[in-house]
Amino acid sequence: MASLTQDEAAARAHLLRVRSYHVDLDVSDAATSDTFTSTTTAHFTCAAPGQDTFIEIKPATLHEVVLNGVALDPASLDGNRFPLTELAADNTLIVRATMLYSRTGEGLHRFVDPADGEVYLAAQSGLDEAQRIFACFDQPDLKASLAVTVDAPAGWLVAANGAGRQLDGGRWEFTPTRPLPTYLACVIAGPYHVRTDKHDGIPLGLYCRRSLAEDLDKDAEELFDITRRCLDRFHELFGIRYPFGKYDQAFVPEFNWGAMENAGLVAFRDEYVFRAAVTDFERQTRAMIIAHEMAHMWFGDLVTMRWWDDLWLNESFAEYLGYRVAAEATQYTGAWVSFALGRKAWGYRADQRLSTHPIAPERVADTEHALMNFDGISYAKGASVLRQLVAWLGDDAFFAGLREHFQAHAYGNATLADLLAALSASSGRDLTGWARVWLREAQVNTLRPVVELGPDGRYASVEVEQTAPDSHPVLRPHRIGVGVYAMAVDADDPDAVHSSCAVVLRERHEIDLDPQTDGGRTPVPALTGVAPGDLLLLNDGDLTFAKVRFDAASTAALPRVLPCLVDPLARALAWGAAMDLVRDASLRPGEFVTLAAAGLRAESDVTIYRDVVAFAVGDVARRYVSPSARPAALAALAAACRGALGEAAPGSGLQLAAARGLVAAAGPGDVRLLRDWLSGAATPEGLAMDAELRWLVLGRLAALGDLSAAEIDAEYDRDRSAQGAEHAAACRAARPDPVAKAAAWEIIVADRELSQRLLLATATGFWQADQEELTAPYVARYFAEMPEVATWRTTNVMQELGLTAFPRYAVDEPTLAAARAMLARPDLDPTLRRAAADETDDLARAVAARRLT
């Protein structure tokens, strides 16, 4: 199938204006059939009558194409493109086709719920998958009104972007929408459970599978409350009401992405309907995603980027506003802590890889390459840069510019230049230079404190040195906080250290780094003559996107400071900087394990606890330390988690996070404990051994070689759910058994029937630390076989499979050489190339870290 190029899209947009689509879908046989019928009527104009173009469709069978009353030959279809010749000024096109349901989360996905056998349909049209559902000009700047009718089985609920009503039997009709890009087209159908509400004149709906109804009902009021609060806050910030009538949120099965901002019908992966105990971190993440998708109603839906080179106009803004509005409008006021440690780490990793790209690249060649830019740069880095911009311009100027932007381009398309013009006008600042270094240039700067002490032990001078990698030698303006943190003292006796462990902010100064005037070395005169604290923290407050380093005294003090640092945002920044040091091979992996083991015993913030455990166990202990040192590293981390578990309040989120950490780090000596948890013989008080925690334990037992295939089958019989099926697939692949590994690998490279979720679960379970000898033959097979797999897997699936099936625990020079040899192939699929290149970068870091041990 041809990928639409930027030049082709520009030429077609110059030629056409699409007025409307009417899409009629017949899914009445969905319970038994693999196909559905799609009939599209498109009305469009042509600026140069007599010219030619094409329309996209990916059918099983194309039955009929009629242009302006003239029947065209269906055999003219070339891949996914049907040629349209000798266009009139005004055109009506009718296309009737049989389409395939998807098992890959693209187009109209069909899912059979293992819990009850019910069938569910849910559409995913992004990035260019609407053509799997109906014939369309599948590019973002040919927006059109969309009207949908659906024939479905009797008893099903159907929802779409517009407001709907049920006619006779299973016939549903939906009102035409305001102009939308094709990638936002959505319909769901099935025996969905629905909850409804209304706020400020806006109808609200929540949908989920019937088997999740009880779980949705438990959280419905929280979900509606978050939705109401976010709507109110966006109305305050933007001054423009939500523009698409109803606001439905559907939690759909086997969804590829976290969520999708379909106007009027936002789709979420249904794991966000919590069926088991979760921490506040998961609830906070869900609230942020709700806010993120709602921000898209303005950024993306009301005003749409012209082409995918301006993806940041969608995702960076939604990311920034998702965290901001969640923190401002909901109970999850600590959202920025989560952003500072976990989310920004994603951005930092992406921006330092060979695949890095500008937030707003000058050009994105085609839709296949555009999909690859849905990454930590377009989301986390872009949001960080916007947070810096808001700090520089101020809220009033920033939002005044956004309001002007929305009003000028409502229901149309816009570009980077359009937005910069609006913000420049509202702020009175020329943003050209800012945009050039922040949006058009890739990679990340590093900020280091340069400290000199005087004879009295006080700061004689403090400067901030900014550097850039040789590959991208660009210095940038930054606004940062410089914080001095010190052990709290007794107010009645300032010379006595406070008896409790408490490192607090003593003073903070905000400065601007301007390499045009300071050459990359910025003095902090306010600190001259100040007594040093226990920690000098750059980027205090997390206003910019930059890696930070510590001065020598702060580095030495980290083991005693981190457990005692009171402010969670400062603690998150300090942990993030320590993680960067070990990833950059500037801190020995064993030293980080020691630091993490000490810090985890005292950590009270669930978000920080989770991220530190994930990095310490998943990256450092399993990849960065040598295999001989791995058991001791995991034992130290498991002991820290066991200590935190014993001290956490029963039933608390911290108790659950500590339990998960202990399971993740568990070694052979912990098998008896995990078995006792499963049996209920020694489950900690307040810890719910629900389905998700049971599967987590079973997954670790499988990797340790203490779980039989029969036990996996028995657990799946106990938890016959979609999540249960995925967990069972991962457990089967994780067992250190040659037969199990062979079966799993056959699924990864050959299976064409499993859903993308079960395929990826198998790949995720396949590679395990401490199974290097067993899986050694498959290292070479990945590099030999995956290129051919990429020729027939879909782009969305290959993007994930290239990552999850990569031999991440084969940390050695031969694997690195094999990976680089595959990447050197000129015929390598671009999607696999990007995924494998990113994993190869991470592998090179792991190899470098091991050299320090």
Instruction: Check if the beta carbon of residue 591 is closer than 8 Å to that of residue 577.
Output: no
Q: Residue 229: name the closest of 338, 339, 331, 335 by CA.
A: 331
Residues 6 or more apart whose Cβ sits within 8 Å of residue 697:
663, 674, 677, 678
Percent of the chain with pLDDT over 90: 97
C-alpha span between 574 and 193 (Å, rounded): 45
Q: How many angstroms from the chain centroid is the CA of residue 245? A: 27
Q: Residue 181: name the closest of 314, 76, 354, 274 by CA.
A: 314
Q: How many angstroms from the chain centroid is the CA of residue 364? A: 20
Element (H, E) at 494: strand 493-497
Residue 732's DSSP bridge partners are none
Instruction: Check if the beta carbon of residue 98 is closer than 8 Å to that of residue 37.
Output: yes
The pLDDT of residue 325 is above 70: yes
Confidence of residue 728 (pLDDT cuts 50, 70, 90): very high
The pLDDT of residue 682 is above 60: yes
Instruction: Check if the beta carbon of residue 574 is closer than 8 Å to that of residue 503.
Output: no
The pLDDT of residue 493 is above 80: no
Confidence of residue 2 (pLDDT cuts 50, 70, 90): confident
The helix/strand/coil state of 531 is: coil
Whether the bond into 127 is cis, omega within 30 of 0: yes
pLDDT in tens, 123-141: 999 999 999 999 999 999 9
pLDDT in tens, 506-527: 999 999 999 999 999 999 999 9
C-alpha span between 559 and 575 (Å, rounded): 11
C-alpha span between 462 and 522 (Å, rounded): 9
The helix/strand/coil state of 649 is: coil
The pLDDT of residue 302 is above 70: yes
C-alpha span between 465 and 450 (Å, rounded): 7
Q: How many CB atoms lie within 10 A of CB 657?
A: 26
Residues 6 or more apart whose Cβ sits within 8 Å of residue 775:
741, 766, 767, 768, 807, 809, 810
C-alpha span between 579 and 24 (Å, rounded): 53
C-alpha span between 587 and 615 (Å, rounded): 14
Q: Residue 353: name the closest of 835, 799, 818 by CA.
A: 835
Domain boundaries, given as residue ranges, for the chain: 6-191, 214-245+271-444, 445-544+546-582, 767-853
Structure tokens at 130: 């609407």
DSSP class of residue 542?
A: -
- Active-site pick, 271, 293, 315, 692: 293
Whether 6-191 and 214-245+271-444 share one fold: the answer is no
3-15 average pLDDT score: 97
Residue 304's DSSP bridge partners are 413
| H helix runs in 375-498, sequence order | 382-393, 395-409, 416-427, 432-438
Instruction: Check if the beta carbon of residue 147 is closer than 8 Å to that of residue 23.
Output: yes
Q: How many angstroms from the chain centroid is the CA of residue 272? A: 14
Q: How many angstroms from the chain centroid is the CA of residue 531? A: 42
Q: How many angstroms from the chain centroid is the CA of residue 652? A: 26
Instruction: Check if the beta carbon of residue 103 is closer than 8 Å to that of residue 751.
Output: no
pLDDT of residue 500: 66
Name which CATH class applies to 6-191: mainly beta
Structure tokens at 752: 């064409």
293 is catalytic: yes
The helix/strand/coil state of 426 is: helix
pLDDT in tens, 355-367: 999 999 999 999 9
pLDDT in tens, 439-465: 999 999 999 999 999 999 999 999 999
Q: Residue 539: name the closest of 585, 482, 596 by CA.
A: 482
Angle at CA of residue 549, ends 545 and 552, nearest 5°: 165
pLDDT of residue 499: 45
Strand 446-453 vs strand 547-548: parallel, antiparallel, or unpaired? parallel
Secondary structure (DSSP) of 763-827: HHHH--TT-HHHHHHHHHHHHHHHHHHTTTS-HHHHHHHHHHTS-TT--SHHHHHHHHHHHT-TT
C-alpha span between 232 and 71 (Å, rounded): 51
DSSP class of residue 131?
A: G
pLDDT in tens, 547-560: 999 999 999 999 99
Secondary structure (DSSP) of 597-632: HHHHHH---HHHHHHHHIIIIIIIIIIIS-TTTHHH
pLDDT of residue 497: 40
Q: Residue 302: name the closest of 217, 202, 186, 179 by CA.
A: 179
pLDDT in tens, 638-669: 999 999 999 999 999 999 999 999 999 999 99
pLDDT in tens, 778-822: 999 999 999 999 999 999 999 999 999 999 999 999 999 999 999
Mean pLDDT of the chain: 96
C-alpha span between 180 and 682 (Å, rounded): 56
The pLDDT of residue 222 is above 90: yes
pLDDT of residue 495: 46
The pLDDT of residue 1 is above 80: no
Strand 503-513 vs strand 478-487: parallel, antiparallel, or unpaired? antiparallel
Instruction: Check if the beta carbon of residue 798 is closer than 8 Å to that of residue 833.
Output: no
pLDDT in tens, 180-207: 999 999 999 999 999 999 999 999 999 9
Q: Which fold has domain 214-245+271-444?
A: Neutral Protease; domain 2 (1.10.390)
Q: Residue 601: name the closest of 563, 575, 570 by CA.
A: 563
Residue type, 831: T
Q: How many CB atoms lie within 10 A of CB 587?
A: 22
Structure tokens at 556: 């030495």
Percent of the chain with pLDDT over 70: 98
pLDDT of residue 498: 39
pLDDT in tens, 333-355: 999 999 999 999 999 999 999 99
Q: Residue 667: name the closest of 636, 635, 715 by CA.
A: 635
Q: How many CB atoms lie within 10 A of CB 307?
A: 20
Structure tokens at 122: 């849910």
Q: How many CB atoms lie within 10 A of CB 818?
A: 19
Q: For tokens 């590019």, name the residue.
A: 139
Q: Is the dihedral of CA 213, 216, 221, 226 positive or negative?
A: negative
How many distinct helices (H) and strands (E) make up the chain? 28, 30
DSSP class of residue 441?
A: S
